[in-house]
Chains A and B, each alone.
Chain A
Amino acid sequence: MKNKTIRLFGLLCSLILLASASVSAYAALPSEEKVSPHASAYLTAYTAWAVRSSSDQVYVYYDVTGAGTVGCLGAKLIVIEMKDGSKWTPVKTYTGTTSNGMLFLNNNGHGGNIVYQGTSGTQYRAIVTIFGGSSTTNGDSRIVTTNTV
């Protein structure tokens, strides 16, 4: 019993040390290699989320706050994914332009949504590419994965 307890304790300590080492290793990575993006000269805050209506319509919202007035703000790409067993499969892609309103010029904030007709019993989520820049092509992109609906 005593040996078992010592072994269990040793195992737990090893796991915790391993987790700590992973966090330290992650912190030691250069900024460009981290999943989280760096500070931005164009973006202050952003978010994206999904809501499902009673008629199985999937609404994907995005909201962007600029770092002051910037040349272009909004969502550059929205990919709707459906859950297929244990994996996620893309089912629809929306590309942001100033014409369709997903991108907005010369403002300090922008938000909007797209609507996708889902199927009953299927789970969905969206991968949203948030964008803020001096123009539609030059700036910072951040990827947000929405909640599952």
Chain B
Amino acid sequence: MSENGRSRRNGGFDEDSAQIQEHQKKQDEEAQLEKIWKELENSEEGIEIDPEKFLRDMAILDDLIPLPDFDLSASWQEFKETHHNLLEGLDSADQQSSAFASEEERPKRKRSMKPVRVALVVVMILAMLLMASCGIIEYIIKAIANWSDDVFRYEVTQELNVEVPDPENTEVGAYVSLEDALEAYGVTTEYVGIQYPEGFTYKKVQVWEYSDSVKLMATYAHNEEEIIFTIWHYKDSTSLELQTAEKMPPDAECYVSKGISHYIMDNTAMVTATWIVDTEMYLLAGGVSSVEMKRMIDSIYEG
């Protein structure tokens, strides 16, 4: 009798028979498993299977190969204890996300704008201090008087891009007086009557005509010394092409006469004063002292 055959003793249920039965059962289970695995492989290869049958097979598998007893919570706790260093970030992120969630759930509070306003005010004050330290003093017409240690200039605050017809070539002319030249070019200004220091007499007037302005320069001389008085007359304030004046440190002195700001500065052996009235820019320069320059400026308005 083969080992695998059924025993006839004890109704076929003796000790040997029990072993054989168990062996037989195991063989049946293995065959069943083999069959189910084959069906699963077929399903992976795209061969159609009956889903109900598949579920039944899975239930059989559960019965045949029961899962060992497994405590999920205890296992997770053990894992956390083992890898607590790695999990710290995750834990805080979890807490943070839960905090955000609770914040979203809460009704939103009206946020205070006070800190922003205070910040803006402080920034504005600092910006103003910065501008003042750069030498920006005041606005004149549409220009800003601005100087460094070495140069003085009025800077226009708008883009210069004047569309004009073809201008005539620059010309230099000769006139008997500054008033004569002003009249010839249709420039009307009352601010030309300067009382020059003793000994200085009229020498010449030169005129340069540009596309949108005319420059009239009168020269007064005493021996080798010269005082020049220049007027740039612009067609309108939008065409102000302002001059850069050379200067020595430190600051240009703002001298106000008849409500007009005159900027006085040293340039090596000369003293220069410049100012703007309406669409005229004036420049007075010569080898004189600052006091004499102020006296000449005052004389313009005493007239």
**Interface, chain A (partner B; CB < 8 A):** 1-2, 5-6, 8-9, 12-13, 16, 19-20, 23, 27, 31, 34, 36-41, 43-47, 49, 51-55, 57, 59, 61, 63, 65, 67-69, 107-109, 111-113, 142, 144, 147-149
> Quick one: CB contact mask for B285-296 with A, threshold 8 Å, 1 for yes?
111000000000
Are A108 and B244 in touch, CB under 8 angstroms?
Answer: no
Are A39 and B150 in touch, CB under 8 angstroms?
Answer: yes
New A-B contacts (13) at CB < 8 Å, excluding given A67-B285, A109-B217:
A12-B119, A16-B123, A20-B130, A27-B149, A31-B150, A43-B246, A44-B245, A44-B270, A44-B283, A46-B243, A47-B243, A49-B160, A65-B217
> How far, in whole Å, are A34 and B37 apart by their CA atoms in the complex?
87
Are B244 and A45 in touch, CB under 8 angstroms?
Answer: yes
Query: How many chain B residues have a CB neighbour from A under 8 Å?
Result: 57
A8 partner residues in chain B, CB cutoff 8 A:
116, 119
> How far, in whole Å, are A41 and B266 apart by their CA atoms in the complex?
11
Give the number of A-B contacts (CB < 8 Å): 155
Secondary structure dominating the interface of B: mixed
User: Which of B15-23, B68-76, B162-170, B191-199 lines the interface with chain A?
Assistant: B162-170
> How far, in whole Å, are A2 and B162 apart by their CA atoms in the complex?
50
Are A51 and B150 in touch, CB under 8 angstroms?
Answer: no
Contact residue among A6, A39, A113, A149 (Cβ-Cβ distance under 8 Å from B267): A39
Are B167 and A49 in touch, CB under 8 angstroms?
Answer: no
Contact residue among A12, A41, A65, A69 (Cβ-Cβ distance under 8 Å from B243): A65
Contact residue among B122, B166, B170, B285 (Cβ-Cβ distance under 8 Å from A44): B285
Cβ of B215 within 8 Å of any chain A Cβ, yes or no, is yes
B271 CB to closest chain A CB (Å) equals 10
Contact residue among A23, A47, A112 (Cβ-Cβ distance under 8 Å from B242): A47
Contact residue among B127, B149, B269 (Cβ-Cβ distance under 8 Å from A31): B149
B169 partner residues in chain A, CB cutoff 8 A:
113
B261 partner residues in chain A, CB cutoff 8 A:
none
Are A111 and B215 in touch, CB under 8 angstroms?
Answer: yes
Are A68 and B287 in touch, CB under 8 angstroms?
Answer: yes
B residues 218-240 in Cβ contact with A at 8 Å? 219, 225-226, 228, 230
Are B210 and A61 in touch, CB under 8 angstroms?
Answer: yes
